[in-house]
Structure 1
C-alpha cells in the first residue's frame, strides 16, 4: 500500500505537458507557432540555444543555395529587398532571430532531452537534464543531422595531418598552411572546395556521386522554374523514387556572389586536383576508386536532364524565354587518378564532407526501421502521439528547408489537435459512465 501511495505521489508531482517538442530550430519553432495558433499548450526543449546550428555548423562565407523568396517560415516570410538573392550567414541568422522573436515560443534552452519512453498507462515519460515530465504527445523536431561521419580509416592517417569535419570548417585562413584534401562533393564539400579554391589554396577533391544543377537557365533561376513546374509540391509518395529519394545527395550549386553553377571541371582547369571516391589509407598514401570520370559524367547528365525538363515545360506552355542550351564539358580527365601521397602533394589538412548520421537513441518508441531512421507518413508514425518534423523529404522536397516546413507543421498541428480532442471525448465518455 505504501509503495502504491508513493508512486501516486511521485506521479502527481511530475509536471505534465500536453505536447513536448524536442528541438528549437526552425522546425521546432514552426510547430510551436502552429500550436500557439490553436491554443494547444506545449513546451519546446532545446539542448543548446534556439537556431544554434546556423551559427555553429556553417562556415563564414556560407549562403543559401535557394532564393530568398523560398524562405517561408510560418507567419514570417522573407520581406527583404532581394527576394531573388541568396542570404549570407549573418543575414540568415538575423532572419531566424526575427522568427524566434515573432513566435515567442514556450522555450527551455539548455535543456537536453535524455530519454522519451512510452508509458504503459498512456502518454510518454520525458527525462531531461533539468528534471522529468510526462507528455501526452511528442514532436521530434531535432532534424536528422546529428553525428558527423568520419570513416574509421581516418585513424590511420599520420598524426601531423589536421583533420576536421565540414561542420568545423570556418575559413581558409583558419587551416594550417599547405594543400587541402576535401573528401566528398555534396553541397558542403563542393562549396567548401570552392571557398578554399577562391582563397588561393591548393585543393584536392575526392568526388562522390552527388548530382549537380544549373543556377540559372533560360533567363531565370532553376529553382524558380522548378517551383512553377510544381516540383516542390510533389509528395514523396508520387516521386519516381518514392521513399528512396530521402537517401539522395542534394545537387551541388551555390548562391555565392549572386549565385552561379559549381563546375568541378572548370575548377580542374584552374588547378584543382580531382579524384574518385576515397577507397583506403596506407600511411601517407591515399587510394581512390576509378570513379571520377563516371561521377562527372553522371552529374552532367542530371544537369542537362533538369534543363531538358525545363525546355519541355517552356514549349508546352508557350513561354517566351532565351534559347535552350546543352552543357558541353570543357575538361575531362585523361585517366582516373588512383592515389595521392600526402607528403609529395603537401597536403596538411583533410576536411571530411561526407555527411551526418541520425541519432534518435533517446527516443524509446517502436517507430524506426533497421537503419535507425524513423518510419512515418508525412511525419505521423505508427506510435500514436509521436511525430517527426523537419526531416528531408518528410512530405516534399522542401520539408527540411525554410520553404515547406510551415505546411508540414500545420498538418501535424491538425493531427495533434485531433488527438487531443479524441482524448478529451474519451475522458468525458468514461466519466459519464462512472
Structure 2
C-alpha cells in the first residue's frame, strides 16, 4: 500500500447519527476538516429500527441539536416517528456534513508516524483523530435458548418490531420490560393481542406529577446535568436500565399492574425452556415493588424540591398498587399458552472490534472521560451517560460534541505550534 495515495483528514467520524452529525457541526464551526463515514444512511436507525407507533419519551423542548432546536407548536408534546424523522432531516440539511453513506469501516489501526489508518469498504484513508459515533447498540441480544424453541413460533428482536399485524395470530410473549419491552407490550395490548410479559428489573417513573412533566421537574432539579463522576454509582450508572414511561397519546405512565388487571399475564425473568415449558425466575413481586419504589422515590424528590423552592403546585400523592400477583408462576406450558410469537427486548451488545486501540475494559466497553480516551486521538460520542444523563438525548449530545471538538482543536493547535517551531 502506498500511503502517499491515501487521502488524509484531520478528523474521521465513524457513524452518521445525531451524535456524528453534531460532531460534524462543531468541527465545521471551528473550520476543522473532517469526513463522516456511515455504513447505511444518516439517521438510519430512527427509520429502520423503530416501531410504527414509536414516539419520544422526553418532551419536545428537550430536542436541541446544535443549531437546530425544536421550534414546533407543541414544546411539551412528544414527537411521533414521522415527526422525529422530519426533525432529523432538517438537522442534516443544516449541518450539510461531508459524509460517505453506504460505506463501512473495516478496521482502524494506529500508524507508526502518528494518527490512524482507516480501512473502509470503499478504500483506505488516514486521519489524525477518530471520533466513534456509532453508539453502543450494535448486536441485538437473543439468548441461545431461542434455538431450542419450536420453529413454528415466530421470533424477532425489538429492533425488527413494527406493529402487531406483522406477527402471526395468537398470543405474544414479550421478553424484557425496559423502555422498548414495556412500550411494545403496550402496543400489542392496545392492538387487542393477548400478551405475556417477562418482567425484568427496569425502574419506572411517572409521566406527569404535581402539574408538570416529570422530565421538566428533573431538568429544573439539575438531574440531566449531573456529571457521571458526581453520581453515587459513578461509572456504574452507565449499566442502569432506563425508566419505562411513554409519550404516546400525549404522554402517560406505563403501569404493568394495570395491564395485568386488564388481562396481560406477567411473569418473572425468562431463564430457560425445558422442551415443553418456559422457565421463569420467581422475581415478579420484587420487580414490581422495586419499580414502584423508584416511581414514588422520584416523586418524593420532586416534593422536596417544591417545598424547598416554595413552588405552588397541586398536592402530593403516592402510587398505590392497583393489582398484586396471586403468586409466583415459575413455568408456563408453551403449547397450552397459545403463544405464536416472541419479541426479544433484552438489549444490544456493543461491537467495537474494528477499532484497534487500548481503550476497552473487560466487557468490551470503552473507557473515557467525557468521550476523551487515554489513547491519543480516539474519542467517543453518543453513548449513554457519556458525561451526564442527558448525553444520550437530543438535548445534550451537542454539548458533548462541542467538548470533544474543543479538545481536538486544542490538540491541532498544539501540533501546529510544534511544527512552526
TM-score of the two chains, using structure 2 as the length reference = 0.99
Tell me, in whole angstroms, the C-alpha distance in 2 between the residues paired with 1:269 and 1:30.
Answer: 44
| Residue of structure 2 aligned with 1:43, choices 35, 38, 41 | 35
Q: What is the CA deviation profile of residues 175-206 of structure 1, one whole-angstrom value per residue up to 9, with x for unaligned ones?
A: 00000000000000000000000000000000
* CA distance in structure 2 between the partners assigned to 1:373 and 1:217 by the alignment: 36
* Runs ≥4 residues deviating over 2 A: none
Q: Offset at 1:120?
A: 1.4
Distance 2:158 2:209 in 1: 30
Unaligned runs of 5+ in 1: 1-6, 430-434
Distance (Å, rounded) in 2 between the aligned partners of 1:315 and 1:424: 54
Structure 2: stretches of 5+ with no match in the other structure = none
Q: Which residue is 2:113 aligned to?
A: 121
Separation in structure 2 between the aligned mates of residue 117 and residue 371 of structure 1, nearest angstrom = 21
The 8 Å contact of residues 158 and 284 in structure 1, kept in 2 or not, is answered as: no
Tell whether 2:288 aligns with 1:290. no
How far is the alpha carbon of 1:280 from its aligned partner? 0.9
The equivalent of 1:324 in structure 2 is 316
User: Given the alignment of the two structures, is residue 361 of structure 1 paired with residue 353 of structure 2, yes or no?
Assistant: yes
1:169 to 2:169 alignment: no
| Higher alpha-carbon Rg | 1
Whether contact under 8 Å (1:236, 1:396) holds in the other structure is yes
The root-mean-square deviation of aligned C-alpha atoms, in Å, is: 0.6
Structure 1 segment 323-362 matched on structure 2, within 5 A = 323-362=315-354
1:252 matched to 2:244? The reply is yes
Which position in structure 2 is the counterpart of 1:145? 137
Deviation digits for residues 349-371 of structure 1 (CA, Å, limit 9, x no counterpart):
00000000000000000010011
Q: Indicate the SS of the match to 1:190.
A: helix
Aligned equivalents of 2:165 and 2:5: distance in 1?
A: 54
Could you state the TM-score of these two structures normalised by the residue count of structure 1? 0.96
Cα offsets for 1:58-82 (capped at 9, x unmatched): 0000000000000010000000000
**Which residue in the other structure is 1:377 paired with?**
369
The reply on whether 1:219 has 2:211 as its aligned counterpart is yes
The DSSP-based 3-state class of the residue aligned with 1:364 is coil
Matches of 1:337 and 1:217, distance apart in 2: 33
Name the counterpart of 1:4: none
SS at match of 1:271: coil
Cα pair 1:213 1:252 within 8 Å, conserved: yes
Aligned residues: 421
CA distance in 1, matches of 2:279, 2:145: 12
Mapped pair 1:61 → 2:53: yes
Cα pair 1:178 1:202 within 8 Å, conserved: yes
- Please state if 1:190 is matched with 2:182: yes
> Which residue number in structure 2 is paired with residue 262 of structure 1?
254
Q: Is 1:28 equivalent to 2:20 in the alignment?
A: yes
Q: Deviations over 1:301-325 (max 9, x none)?
A: 0000000000000000000000000
